[in-house]
Each structure stands twice: as C-alpha cells, then as structure tokens.
Structure 1
Amino acid sequence: MPRKKSAKKRTRSSKKDFTSFEVQGFEEVRKNLTATSDNMARIIAQTDYEIGEAVIARAHIRAAGVGGVAPKSARSLRMERVRGRARVMYGGTAYPYAMGGEFGSYRYHQFKPFRRDGYFLFKARRDVETGDILMIYRAALARAIRNAFPEDN
C-alpha cells in the first residue's frame, strides 16, 4: 500500500542550526547615546554592523592561515540583523562542518585538535574587541558630528 504524503511542509533549516555571538563593548555608552537621540540609535546600529564586518574580514584572514576545513567554514560567515541588533552568524545546514572548523575535534580527524577558544572566528572577535572597535566607534562618531554640524567642516 503506497504511503500518503504528509500535508506538513518540511522546512530546510531552522535558526537552531546557526551559531551567533554579539560583539560586546561600550554597552553603557550605547545606552546613554541611544537615549539622547533617535538618529544616534541608527548610527550605533550601523556601527555595530561595521564592527561585525570587521570581525568577518579578520576571521577570513585567520581561517586562511589555519588551513584545513577552516577556510571552507569561514564561507558561512554572514551578518544578520536580529531584533535591531547586528550579529555575526555562521554555520547552518549547508555547512555542517563549521563548528569543527572553528573549534576542532578529538573524535573526527578531518578537523584540528579541539581548542576551547576557537581557531579563527572567536580569535578574530577578540582582535577586533581589543583594537579596532575603538577606531570604528570614533570614526562613526566623527561622521555623526560632521553630519550634525556641516557648516563647521
């Protein structure tokens, strides 16, 4: 007897398949500036997106240096806006090896040995948080001041 197809539509992937993180920093400054101006909220959101792009660029460079599955895993890196916040996302059903490429594995030998702090993405995140994040926020604030006071330029 032939099987009936179910009426329920199968989805290709769900958000559970993805891993993400937020770049932490300047949380108090962000809250204070957001409270002062609606335009500042947009500037901060755009700056968060720029910081995420800097993390992705740095992660691609680090992944190329690691070799193995890491450069292939780095192709899954992308920026998404989640509830108004920019997030770096990676992995998913098309990249089942992304976590192994980032963290390694003791069990599966196609990956490097397990490393809790990661090989490319989380190291790139720390690089940006400790160095580039101040420059990116300064440039964004300078652009905001130039736009707010164009006659002083």
Structure 2
Amino acid sequence: MTNEFVLEAINREFPGSVLSSSEPYGMLTLEIKKDDLKKVVHHLRDSSLEINFLTDITGIHYPENKEKELGVIYHLHNMKDNFRIRLKSFTQREGAEFETLTDLYAGANWMERETFDFFGIKFKGHPDLRVILNSPDLGYHPMLKEYRLEDGTRTDKDDKMFGR
C-alpha cells in the first residue's frame, strides 16, 4: 500500500474533503475538512484499506491563524501492511468541537479527554469528557500558546529560549 494509492482512494470516496496533502518523512499527512473527518476515519477503518489502529490523538494551537487556530491530529495505522497516516483538521477557537471517535476506537476515550484537558477542544458525543490529568479547578488549558513558559520573575530565562 502506497501513499499515492491511499490518497487516491480517499479523494475518490470523498471528493473535496482533502484540503491539502504532504509526505513529511514519508508519512502521508492530510488536512481534512472538519465536517468530513469522522466519515473519512470510518472509511479508512472499514474499507479494504484496513487502517484499523488509532495510535494517537493530540491537539495543536496556531494563535496567529484565527480561522484555523485549534486543530486535532490523528495518527492511524494499518498493522498488516505497516502503513501509517496522519490526519489533521482545524477550527476556530471559539466553540472548538469535533465529533468523538470513541464509537470507532475505544482507545479514543482517553486521548480525547487528554486533548480536551490540555487544549480545551471538546468532542461531541464523548461518553465522559472531563479533566483527567490537570486539576479540575486549574481554570485554563496549559498547552495553549498564550501562557508564559517561564516564571516572569526569572531573569535568566525567557520564552525566546523556547522558540516563542
């Protein structure tokens, strides 16, 4: 199974759903329309492509791009053919919500809760979406790039040392 074959299969089944594609380090990476994301993942799992293992879900924050400020990244794997694919989907920060994948992959439960906890992204239909790693009364989502990385009272370090 090749990247070209999988991309062609997705484009054939869901015309217009793939917004962009690339192959960093040889891994097929697709940006999918938010409304089509779950349909595409469902097809990848249940079709002859057999991409049936959810490796990871995480969030990403691009504060400089207000139309695509928050995103969710899914890593999926076909164990039989050792084929991996990365799917990305983006939304505005206000009302950031994606459909849950817990009905497709049981392992999505924890990963979606973790993404909610750290990025504030909600997953519509999730059976138990609540904070799991941070304190429930923390009051913010620590992975958003709006909080200082270092204590403001320190003079020996600043956020520029961390790429900001």
TM-score by length of structure 1 reads 0.27
TM-score by length of structure 2 reads 0.26
> Bigger relative contact order, structure 1 or 2, given CA contacts below 8 A and separation 6+?
1
Bigger fraction of residues in helix:
1
